[in-house]
Chains A and B, each alone.
Chain A
């Protein structure tokens, strides 16, 4: 009899605990690449997400509702990403997910649309921006996919626009030559055509792309072809070690080309590793840098203390993008809570509720964003920065800000 009472109490207690938990918190899954091929930047971004979510939790959560989250290092392996996603959906009643790479985000498109779980990825692939499949080129509409930042295609278009101006300012005559440099792989290829089309529109002569492996190596041969082609502007579509090798190799060969990179290809650790080869290196960014003085940076520094009590650790701008991604989700959740409860569907509606919107406290850090049910290009503004090595004293300065038109034919492309 005693045993029965005991078991009864335990069961009742467990039930009460789970129901309490269900009321007080919502579950957010977090996929991160901490040990896989993209861990070079994946770790920084994941730290940003994780710190932001812990900070939100320790400061009142979503108006009183806690964020229960789990970070899983899926090492860029799609099957593991799917398994983790399924676990979260079926066991934790996940309402939103913070994702990472292109391969896993694309693999999950159909699942998240069916389960109505908004996914905030760090893949800025242009074809995640068409929620309805309006553009005939869209393979698969992605109604539940969001990301904070300009798409890879828009990032590249902004750089091309800058390059056109730059060519004029330098007094260049004739049509400048533009080359895409990157691996033959979906991630570097994502903006290739879109960017080449816009470059042609702006009067560039688009050269045949140069294939450079995503894995670091000796790229002198490719640099020689770049030199021989007489390219004036080269867009680097890879990331991490590959970019470092490329810049070094081209430095040795002595190419006279203006390098521009995508959002993952330009940051301080890369400049430190590449060394003297970095000269007037142009790259886009969606946030200020660690040393910059923007009103929202005080909140960023506070968030950073979640995993670094001293507050001295350097954070790259990928970390700040992680924070922005988490905070847009947070405010969409707040809207959802006031408008029928924090469910995946309401969070999605929350993303559409405001226009030109910056999360509270992050003014000057996150760029004003607008999502709509027809258009998931949250950001169409790109800040363009210039990096110089200067014998070890790395100098990064903002060159300009480009705002791209929201052209219909660019949606999902």
Chain B
């Protein structure tokens, strides 16, 4: 009976393997596999609008997980994640346009290139932390933004760069229906990898660095190495996400990768839950869906006769922007551990129902 459950009742773990399993019960594992299979069928039922939202969740979610590994698991801070995301997009386009490498390989290569760049900018992390590190990464944001606008050979400057669609055995993934599979494949692979990383020696070292760097050092963890590695992994994720974004749009322009994007990534992981792989995904879904839901409400209101006046719809536009800010503040007050924590509580509630504990 315990298999038909989302959460084991009691702690029966008797081995390290059981302790670090990804899925707590067999049922959740089946559920996850079934969920992914169902998602494979999505293009048959969902229209391009829902698919595009799903694809956005995929490429932004991959980058958000990268940031969560850095901020949530290792306790470093980065305000330049948006720029690394952009670097990945440009790098992939550049690799394809200049060297004719198939796009399918450009995406991971772009991830590695971004990793190198991320580690260069992350190198101050070996010596400084906290606010000083935040400012150092902020510099990365501005330097890269300027680089995008100047480096004609790499980004096409103000013209931007074209990024052809993913091409596999002669089949081009040009529409949302087909790109959905690329996005889903990348999302599942990167999230599985992220989850596994956290179960390895390196992952545990990240958490030790975050929890108490002095203790970690005393235990023999090389702080410099792991701080840098964390920056590398985080940028690798950002690069993959960015490359997917570029090849989905078919065109990369420097305008999008501003500090606002970096802050949005931070918002995603805070809302989703710092230090949680699941949280990064939940936070991304939340941040992608929120403007759409609010837009829907605005749309419904402006369909009414009184709601169609210009003054009213203009007012609503501002209200929409403000409510995004409000939601973030409310999260910080009432749900500081994010959506991932809320999900745990919901599971616990049903497990113990009708007793509260």
Contacts and interface: CB of A to CB of B under 8 A. Distances in A.
Interface of A: 34-35, 43, 47, 50, 70-73, 75, 77-80, 82-84, 86-87, 89-91, 101-103, 106-107, 109-111, 114, 127, 137, 139-140, 184-187, 189-190, 192, 307
A90 B53 CA distance: 13
B82 to A, nearest CB: 12
Contacts of A91: 47, 49
B321 interface: yes
A186 B253 contact: yes
Shortest Cβ-Cβ A-B pairs, 3 listed: A110-B250, A189-B158, A103-B255
Given A90-B49, A185-B149, A73 B317 contact: yes
B174 interface: yes
B47 A107 contact: no
B251 A109 contact: yes
B255 A70 contact: no
B251 A189 contact: no
Interface stretch (B31-39, B200-208, B230-238, B288-296): B288-296
A94 to B, nearest CB: 11
B124 interface: no
A18 B37 CA distance: 34
A184 B158 CA distance: 9
B22 interface: no
B291 to A, nearest CB: 6
11 contacts: A34-B318, A35-B317, A35-B320, A75-B317, A82-B56, A83-B56, A102-B253, A107-B253, A127-B159, A140-B162, A189-B149
B265 to A, nearest CB: 12
Contacts of B175: 114
Contacts of B174: 114
User: Which secondary structure characterizes the binding site on chain B?
Assistant: helix
B130 interface: no
Contact of B160 (A50, A71, A139): A139
A103 B49 contact: no
B28 interface: no
Given A86-B48, A86-B49, A139-B161, A110 B251 contact: yes
Contacts of B314: 34, 43
A190 B158 contact: yes
B195 interface: no
Contacts of B60: 79
A106 B48 contact: no
Contacts of B150: 184
A85 to B, nearest CB: 8
A90 B48 contact: yes
Contacts of B48: 86, 89-90
Interface string B163-189: 000000000001110000000000000
A78 B85 CA distance: 14
Given A35-B321, A139-B159, A83 B310 contact: no
Interface in B241-293: 249-251, 253-256, 288, 291-292
Given A185-B254, A189-B158, A70 B47 contact: no
A185 B162 CA distance: 18
Nearest to A101: B255
Contacts of B47: 90-91
B19 interface: no
A82 B146 contact: no
Listed residue (B158, B162, B314) with the most chain A CB atoms within 10 angstroms of its CB: B158
B52 interface: yes
Nearest to A36: B321
Given A50-B310, A71-B313, 8 more contacts: A83-B53, A83-B292, A87-B49, A90-B49, A103-B253, A114-B174, A186-B253, A187-B158
B158 A107 contact: no
Contacts of A89: 48
Contact of A86 (B52, B254, B256): B52
A190 B318 CA distance: 30
B158 A80 contact: no
Contacts of B162: 139-140
Contact of A186 (B56, B160, B249): B160
Contact of B317 (A34, A106, A185): A34
Interface in B49-87: 49, 51-53, 56, 60
A199 to B, nearest CB: 17
Contact of B251 (A73, A140, A184, A192): A140
B149 A184 contact: yes
A190 B149 CA distance: 10
Contacts of A79: 56, 60, 288
Contacts of A83: 49, 52-53, 56, 292
Nearest to A70: B299
Contacts of A72: 295
Contact of B321 (A71, A75, A86, A90): A75
Nearest to A113: B250
A90 B175 CA distance: 12
B157 interface: yes
B156 A139 contact: yes
Contacts of B318: 34-35
Contacts of B156: 139
A331 B156 CA distance: 36
A110 B176 CA distance: 12
Nearest to B320: A73
A34 B302 CA distance: 15
Contacts of B291: 77, 80
Nearest to A103: B255
A186 B161 CA distance: 12
B158 A86 contact: no
Nearest to A308: B310
Nearest to A73: B317
Nearest to A188: B158
A112 B65 CA distance: 31
Contacts of A43: 314
Nearest to B146: A184
A192 B158 CA distance: 9
Contacts of A106: 160, 251, 253, 255
B255 A110 contact: no
Nearest to A183: B149
A103 B56 CA distance: 17
A109 B253 CA distance: 12
B46 to A, nearest CB: 9
A190 B160 CA distance: 10
Interface string B287-330: 01001100100010000000000100110011011000000000
A195 B69 CA distance: 46
Contacts of A87: 49
B149 A107 contact: no
B158 A186 contact: yes
A123 to B, nearest CB: 10
Listed residue (B51, B146, B157, B159) with the most chain A CB atoms within 10 angstroms of its CB: B159
A310 to B, nearest CB: 13
